[in-house]
Each structure stands twice: as C-alpha cells, then as structure tokens.
Amino acid sequence: EAAAPLVETLTQENYYSQVSGSKPALILFVDDSALSHAALAELHSAAADLQDRFSLCQANGARYQALAVKLGVPPRFLPAVVIMDLAREWHHVMEPAVPITAATLGALSASFAAGRLPPTLRSNAEPDYEPGPVYTLVANRFQRRAMDPSRDVLVNFRTTWCGFCNLLAPVYHAVAHAARNVRSLVMYEFDLASNDPEPGLNVTVAPTLMLFPAHNKTGIAYLG
C-alpha cells in the first residue's frame, strides 16, 4: 500500500479532514507562477521535519481565493503560507515579504511551537472622521478603542447582510443618540464581514452586543 503523501492537495472532499484534525494545518496557497512552484518544492523539502506538528496542504489559490482572503492573504498575492488552527479559531499568515524556503518554514514552525505567532486579523481602515454618536470599530484598532480604561465601551458586532443586525441598527443608533451626553460611554459598530474579532472574544453569531466596562475590560455579552 502506497504511503500517504506528506503534502496533501486540498479538495472539497478532504478539506475538513485536513484542517480539523488533531494537528493545525499549514496551507500553501499557490498559482502557476515560478515562485509558487519554487515554494511548493521548498515545502516538500521541509515536509519531513514539519509533518509531526502540522497537517501539510497545498491549495489552488484561484479555486480557494475566497478562503485565502478570509484568512488574511492579500488578493492575488501568491504564493502564501497560512497556519490554521481550527480548534482555537486561530490562524496566522506568514509575512508576504519573507521568502518561502525550507529554512523560513522551519523558523515559522519553531515560532508557532513557542507561542510567538500572533493571530492574523483582517481589518478595514479606520475612518478619518465620524460625527457619531455611533462610531466604526475596526480590528487593528480594537485594543486601543475597546480597551480604553477611561471609557465604558459598547460594541455591536454585526454584518450588513444579517437581517437581525439590520433590525437592531436603528434601535442601537437611537440608544446612542439618547446617551450622547454620557461622556464615559462610547458606542461602536464592528463589521464582521471584513474584520476579524479577537479569538478570545468568542464572537460566533451576529449580532452580538458586548460591553467592555471602564477599568474592567472582561467583555460582557448581552444575552437578552
């Protein structure tokens, strides 16, 4: 019986078995370029050293472009390496400026094992100016805004295509307008379609309302 390949090709049939097993997945997104062919050769070269830590996969970057973009890979920026830990709802995109070689893949693996890799979060740009009273919160400003110890911060995690979110929006804005003179309170909207919440928040449905009180930044989800 032939041995299983060290690097599996992702398909619709094997996707969940590859990414949801006991090991996190290391996925190389490729296209037909010479850079991608070289990166794939480097992954195969490093596979024997990486296989105990990761489920190793290659993926067609055109076919799985939506997945790559959702994980934070810039559109059409291939080849790209992503570590995906589905059990922790965590993923990390290897810096695009770093060449993909057996050595850099080994260093990435060592950093992952040591817990030094931060999650990669998709984020919109923060608007330059908004009149309020509801403001836009984006992923790469979440810590600065929501964790401000001088403010009670209320965040509405929503999407534009969610019916319940759209029903809640005018009520949320009305509350914000009524409370606009409460200087300690800031109310935000966070678009889940284009921003990733921090994994520890466990935001799994939209809409989710979460309060981050001043001086106690353990998020409190509204369960009404």
**Complete domains list, the chain, with CATH:** 8-113 (3.40.30.10), 134-221 (3.40.30.10)
Overall average pLDDT of the 110-126 stretch: 93
Q: What is the pLDDT of residues 139-160, one digit of tens each?
A: 999 999 999 999 999 999 999 9
Q: Estimate to the nearest angstrom the gap between the alpha carbon of 101 and the chain centroid.
A: 24
Instruction: Determine the 3-state secondary structure of 149 from DSSP.
Output: coil
Q: Inform me whether the pLDDT recorded for 33 exceeds 60.
A: yes
Neighbours of 194 (CB within 10 A): 15
User: What band does 31 get if pLDDT is binned at 50, 70 and 90?
Assistant: very high
Dump pLDDT digits (tens) for 39-81: 999 999 999 999 999 999 999 999 999 999 889 898 789 999 9
pTM value?
0.74
**Cβ-contact 171, 139 below 8 angstroms:** no
The CA dihedral of 66, 68, 69, 70, to the nearest 10 degrees, is 80
Burial, 163: exposed, middle or buried (Cβ in 10 Å; 0-12, 13-18, 19+)? exposed
**Which residue has better confidence, 110 or 3?**
110
- Does position 1 have pLDDT exceeding 70, yes or no? no
- What does the pLDDT average to over 181-193? 96
Q: How far apart are CA 96 and CA 93, in angstroms?
A: 8
